[in-house]
Structure 1
Amino acid sequence: MFIYLYLPLLFITLYTITQHFLHKILNHPPTPFPTLPLFGHIYLLSTNPKLPLHRTLSSISDRHGPITFLQLGSRPVLLVSSPSAAKQCFTENDVVFANRPNLLNGKHFGYNFTSLQWSSYGDHWRNLRRISSVELLSSHQLNLRSGILKYEARALIRKILGNFSDSNEIVGLRSVFFEYSYNVVMRMITGEEEEGGEIGGSVVFEEIVGEMARVTIDANVIDFVPFVGSIWGWFWNVEEKMVLVQRKRDEFMKNVIEECLRRREGGGGGGAGGGCGKKDLIQILKDLQKKESEYYTDEAIRNLLLVLVQGATHTTSTTLEWALSLLLKNPAILQKARTQIENHTQNKCLITLSDLPEIPYLRCIINETLRMHPAAPLLTPHVSSEKCMIGGFDIPRGTILLVNAWDIQNNSEIWEEPEKFMPERFEGDKIYEFKYFPFGWGRRACPGENLAINMVGIVLGCLIQCFDWESVGEIDMSEGGGVITEKVEPLCVKFVPRDFVLDFFS
């Protein structure tokens, strides 16, 4: 009878040993031992639950090498944490890894979650990418819409000034930064004129983004461990939560589009591309829909706009919070940036986008912030469409690729004193190929890099120029979890407006 008690243990032992040698025979990258049935290496992710995922994966790479093969439940994963391996993935194997993994699959829930899934690499993806780049994110379009960033940067300064009554006033900036990012992107896609007043909806959208981030973690359990995940999903009502947040997102963007169309029909706002005399993105998509209604469906338009708005708002606001936090912890760097700004402007005006190239230290600060705290530390996952070779190892088709950009950008063998905030390391024309790539690389790199740098640059410059800042106690720099890594504790500050600012806005 006791033999039956030992059978499960015997099975697990034989399974783990077989898997270990099978990986060697198939020439897969080094893999941690043991690989458990059903769960694979998921147990490694729970060794220190307080650590964010990118730091946990970094410790795994430290033990097993910069190219590590993981079995996360039912999903094979290639973990890369070296510049040379990342270069192989994003150059000679760029097409192989041009697809995204099919996560949050609607079949688990009996609901269509296409707006939460990435588009497969192909003609459809290339068309959406072209529309986004040509009509919104190109340098030409950003120049045409530069007035939006100028207007919203000043609106943010006014908002902060409105909270000032005395030097002991404490202000939380997370929602302020999110509202700014949201307003910029929303004005760009709707063509709302700067003089059109408040955009509205940032609070609601911030709640939707937060809810999506929380529910996604539970839903991913179902993606990686379907059998256990189904029980987990039932216990935590994941299906109901996913359906609810998806409907909220759809309804939100549907209302945005309808309001934009109503304004245009009524002759008030919209349609002018933010004062640049050009059609807004919604109008462009609606015109395309008239020609190809089966392709440019209402759902397809909503999904594209949701991707653009959500992708730009959360990452930009998070980067602004990290940047100001780092400056408050390094007042000498903040003062150096302020001196460069004042030498350029003489405090006769607030900085604009055209001033940014003349204030290079500000860009160094942004680069160093993104090096230490990339908005998406693991970038966005890729998946191999066919068998390939990385670092001399065979990578099977259908393997998820996770490139730990945080690990590479904070590696002491690559960077001098990586834990130290040193914007000076980015001065000059230094090239950090595959040692620094917070926006990804290759075909599916983030197309909004220029927009993000401009959005962060103009506001960060104005904040440095306009206020004397003081932190409230010791600033907690702990990182949260999730795809977009926020500070665990929101940044709360005290501030005093500088004299010229009060005169400027009087």
Structure 2
Amino acid sequence: MVINHKSYSAIKLGVKKALVINNWEMAKECFTTNDIVVSSRPKLVAVEHMSYNQAMFRLGPCGPYWQKARKMTISEILSSHRVKQLRHIFESGSIKELFTFWCSNKNECGYALVELKQWFSHLIFNIVLQMVLGKRYFSLGTVDDEKAGRCVKAVKEFMRLFGVFTVGDAVPWLRWFDFGGHEKAMKETAKEMDSLVSEWLEEHRQNKALGGKVDGVQDFMDVMISMLDGQTSNGFDADTMTKSTVLSIILAATDTISTTLTWAMCLILRNPNVLEKIKEELHIVGKEKWLSENDITKLIYLQATVKETLRLYPPAPLSAPHEFTEDCTINGYNVTKGTRLITNLWKIHTDEYVWSDPLEFKPEKFLTTHKDIDLRGHHFELLPFGAGRRICPGISFSLQVVHLTLASFLHYFEIINPSTEPPDMSETFGLTNTKTTPLDVVFKPCLSPNCYESNEEVFT
């Protein structure tokens, strides 16, 4: 059953009620006036099996446990200080590596071919795993460790399965049939991910027993082991809290950031005028200087390009589901306790009453008519990170990585689409909305050669 309205749709997912909101006014009412009421998460079959039964704080209900895990994550891994500490991971894992790859693979015209979708994925995995586990697993085009390959495969399967609609979520008494075998796959994926993170946890415990980190810099798992030693919270022991929080960060950051970077590059390559404007703006940095965080603040057009990418291609077009914990009224519509809330971000982001030419890629709108709209949940016309108390805690981290990666790649290298056809934009929908096909580009360094050779200290 579907009841259509301009601003929302009330639907039945089997025996479960759901409210789908389609415009920014409804979103604002939900995530401000009724924020407390809509701040819980439904206990889906995927959540039960693949989040340690809601121990992953991003998938569990609000409460003391959620607050503790969220606060610890923000302070210990998503802070600006922590990101600056680990900036070298980005630089050594991207610019130097790409330059070395180009030296070995350039053709007679001076260009080398690289598949960006995979490169972005491996780069972000390296950054996140170094921060969380103190490990770097990938080189360009290769996997340096067997566990890394298992991790990437498990994360992709996790994202796919979270986008699957299971019969058990709609009609609980039919759950035991497991139509499509989705629940079996969820159990297998959960087992594989737990096996990986359990091995990492044991490695960290052994290192701690031997004296800890030689360089004195603890990764996030080290911090959690020290902070949670012997504690229990909300029925979860210290090991479960540590493993679930580590996996929450890996899952939340890797796929969403690499997906955003891939769509951004697709849109830039399909719009040569945008690429030209970004390159012109990058002249601010200069040809003999390495790009820094301070430079990013001056790259206004590049920031607008990222905003426009997130408007048209939010990583999770339907956002993460919420659940009403009390009866309430939304826009005059009576919503009963237990109803699921689905925020149709794609519809909100392409509302013709808000955005002129809503399906066109035009970063200029964020320099003119919509220049005051931000991405941090203050303006409900643009909500790629959500809003309210369940807003993504990694907004600053994600934007910093996206801006720095995109700006660096376009600053240090000249890029060309190797095909006469624009990049394919076909999508594969799961928990995130990913590009189906690879993204090939040819590239070559565009700074003076000594710039790549005389900044070795940046990479150490």
TM-score where L is the length of structure 1? 0.79
**2:202 alignment counterpart:** 258
Determine which structure has the larger strand proportion and give its number: 2
2:161–2:430: 8 Å Cα contact kept in structure 1? no
Residue 438 and residue 292 in structure 1: after superposition, are their counterparts in 2 closer, same or farther (change >3 A)? Answer: same
Aligned residues: 437
- 1:185 CA displacement: 1.2
User: Letter of the aligned partner of 1:441 in structure 2?
Assistant: A
Mapping of residues 91-490 of structure 1, within 5 Å: 91-104=32-45, 113-114=53-54, 118-155=59-96, 157-158=98-99, 160-161=101-102, 164-166=105-107, 169-191=112-134, 200=145, 201-218=147-164, 220-231=166-177, 233=178, 236-265=180-209, 269=213, 272-273=216-217, 279-290=218-229, 292=231, 296-342=237-283, 344-427=284-367, 429-431=371-373, 433-471=379-417, 472=419, 473-490=421-438
Cα deviation digits, residues 15-47 of structure 1 (max 9, x gap): x8xxxxxxxxxxxxxx43xxxxxxxxxxxxxxx
Give secondary structure in 1 for the equivalent of 2:9. Answer: strand
Residue 121 and residue 446 in structure 1: after superposition, are their counterparts in 2 closer, same or farther (change >3 A)? Answer: same
Distance 2:269 2:209 in 1: 48
Higher Rg of the two aligned structures: 1
Give secondary structure in 2 for the equivalent of 1:414. Answer: coil
Residue 162 and residue 87 in structure 1: after superposition, are their counterparts in 2 closer, same or farther (change >3 A)? Answer: farther
Compute the RMSD of aligned alpha carbons.
3.0
- 1:260 CA displacement: 3.6
Distance 2:51 2:31 in 1: 34
Question: For structure 2, which runs of at least 5 residues remain unmatched after alignment?
Answer: 455-460
* Stretch of structure 1 that moved more, 287-296 or 302-311: 287-296
2:51–2:59: 8 Å Cα contact kept in structure 1? no
Distance 1:461 1:224 in 2: 44
* Stretch of structure 1 that moved more, 418-427 or 490-499: 490-499
- 1:502 CA displacement: 7.5
- 1:177 CA displacement: 0.8
- 1:346 CA displacement: 1.3
Give secondary structure in 1 for the equivalent of 2:224. Answer: helix
Distance 2:449 2:253 in 1: 28
Question: For structure 1, which runs of at least 5 residues remain unmatched after alignment?
Answer: 1-15, 17-30, 33-62, 274-278
- 1:468 CA displacement: 2.2
Distance 1:303 1:267 in 2: 25
More RCO (CA 8 Å, sep 6+): 2
Distance 1:458 1:236 in 2: 41
Residue 105 and residue 365 in structure 1: after superposition, are their counterparts in 2 closer, same or farther (change >3 A)? Answer: closer
Residue 146 and residue 112 in structure 1: after superposition, are their counterparts in 2 closer, same or farther (change >3 A)? Answer: closer
Give percent identity, aligned residues only.
27
User: Letter of the aligned partner of 1:288 in structure 2?
Assistant: M
User: Letter of the aligned partner of 2:194 in structure 1?
Assistant: D
TM-score where L is the length of structure 2? 0.86
* Stretch of structure 1 that moved more, 288-297 or 390-399: 288-297
Distance 1:251 1:490 in 2: 30
1:263–1:269: 8 Å Cα contact kept in structure 2? yes
